[in-house]
Amino acid sequence: MQRYHFRPYSPNQLALFPQRIDKDISEDDPVRILSGIIGSLDLSSLRKLYKERGRSPYDPKMLLAVVIYAYMNNIYSCRRIEKSLKRDIHFIWLAGYEQPDFVTINRFRNRVKKEVNAVFTQVVLLLAERGFVSLDVEYIDGTKIESKANKYTFVWRKTVEKNRAKLLAKIKVLLSQIDDVIAQDNASEQEKVEFTPELLHSMARELNAALAEEPEPATKAGKKERKARQKQVRELEEKAEKLAEYDRHLDTLGERNSYSKTDPDATFMRRKEDAMNNGQTVPCYNLQIGTENRFITDFGLFPNPNDTGTMIPFLSSFSMRYDRLPREGCADAGYGSEENYAYMEANGIEAYVKYNYFHKEQKKAFKDDIFRIENLYYNSADDYYVCPMGQHMERVGTRRDRTDSGYRTESAVYRAGNCEGCPLRWGCYKKRQGNREIEANHRLIEYKQQARDRLTSEKGLEHRSKRPIEPEAVFGQMKYNMQYKRFRHFGTDKVTMDFAFFATAFNIKKMIAKMKRTA
């Protein structure tokens, strides 16, 4: 008879675990390095959020370390963090065997939604001290991150404005039907003034008061007329409420074209990652990040879908965060506007920022197109262009415009003397009558020339080779390796808090990985 010898198996023994639970956690484990980093940070701002009296709360340093470590391991749910604090020896050691529940963890995240931004800044400054980043170069790019909001709770500006105009027309018709001196007087006073919900409610109150003062009609026709007038007053009150609703929508929209009812800070945008492949718009935030050596050095969330208008406020946030601006800024053609070039020049930032047609203008087809304004000869001394037939195009005026942020642009308008009978008219000027006109923004042309010189220099070629693998690599790791594709909170403040935790965890995780490779 064979005898088998196995190691003793007794899961119910009294001393099942070792005396030190970190016995199986190596000295260079990320959780130990994270604990040391959190211990070196100034967390006085977090401590000030708690009261000196009452029941002793959990140490904010412990909660901060636990949440950041969870984000480092792709755990973003408070319930999953609570479960890990009971099952994972790394979480158990990091928390000192404290076991806060998911409500406490979520409450902590919301409590420090402003202060965690400063924690992220401290981590970036720590990276700068250790030589991982210099904060002199900023590679900027943006991506759309979907909101937690329902996809079908949209409010569109055009629809609101259209329905509001229809409602105002119905109100005017209703007021004309109300056979009452008060309504007629108020309507005549407001012929040139826009109706407001307050005014309509006031008119309804006065009409109700006037109806209450009238004696009770004795005839059946009088009672019927009184009921009809009461119904008109109720309809006026309902329209006042509807007008107030439209006004609230417009106030929430601000400068945007849409928003979500369940998350008013989110705007409906189109994304590259379109699951339906039909150009469907979903509630999103425009996430802008600045990177260096593939570390996140700054971030910002914006409601506008285009990147052009985000660059100046984004760079301003960099200045507020580090009390200075980067020396060099690198971005793609989505940021190449006159306003952005002017801002970077005024603040001493070398702009390695592409513009529209930067790549296209280097192609032979573009250079050989004699009808394009970029290829026309310009005489700066006498301020005129020369058309392909050699005719002077004299300046005839100036076109001024203003961007959404209030920046003023100015373009010179040039017109040819006589295009009638020109053999090249077929490719030069598509209108059948009149002479060709062109517009030239000379200031923008100068900025583009400066950007072209920088981008084609040796340093510019280096930045252009790095830019696609700087923020794009961060976005790739964020969305596909760390599965951070959708926000889990409502509102800009909470969404910013959530990404601040993520960006902090991302930087620490990358720093630890680089330290291990160089060890």
**Rounded mean pLDDT for each run of 10 residues along the chain, 519 residues in total:** 75 75 84 92 89 85 95 95 93 91 94 92 94 94 90 90 91 76 51 75 83 79 82 87 92 90 90 69 92 94 89 92 93 91 93 90 86 88 89 90 88 88 81 84 92 92 91 92 91 93 96 87
What pLDDT is attached to residue 181?
46
Enumerate the β-bridge partners of residue 145.
285
At which residue do the structure tokens 């793609």 appear?
A: 332
For residue range 309-354, what is the model confidence (pLDDT) as tens digits?
Answer: 899 999 999 999 999 999 999 999 889 999 999 999 999 999 999 9
- Taking a C-beta distance cutoff of 8 angstroms, is the pair 223, 217 a contact? yes
Q: How far is CA 311 from the centre of its chain?
A: 11
Where exactly are the structural domains of the chain? 21-112, 138-147+273-358+454-499, 155-260, 361-441
What pLDDT is attached to residue 191?
53
- Would the pTM of this model clear 0.75, i.e. be above it? yes
Give the DSSP letter string of 54-113.
Answer: SSPPPPHHHHHHHHHHHHHTT---HHHHHHHHHH-HHHHHHTTT----HHHHHHHHHHTT
What pLDDT is attached to residue 225?
81
Give the DSSP letter string of 351-377.
Answer: EEE--TTTTGGGSHHHHT-TTSGGGSE
What pLDDT is attached to residue 454?
93
Task: Name the CATH architecture for the domain at 138-147+273-358+454-499.
Answer: 2-Layer Sandwich (3.30)
* 477 DSSP assignment: I
Q: What are phi and psi of 178, to 5 degrees?
A: -75, 110
Q: By 3-state DSSP, what share of the chain in percent is helix, strand and coil, each rounded to 5? A: 50, 15, 35
At which residue do the structure tokens 């920046």 appear?
A: 407
What pLDDT is attached to residue 276?
59
How far is Cα 181 from Cα 196, in angstroms, rounded to an integer? Answer: 20
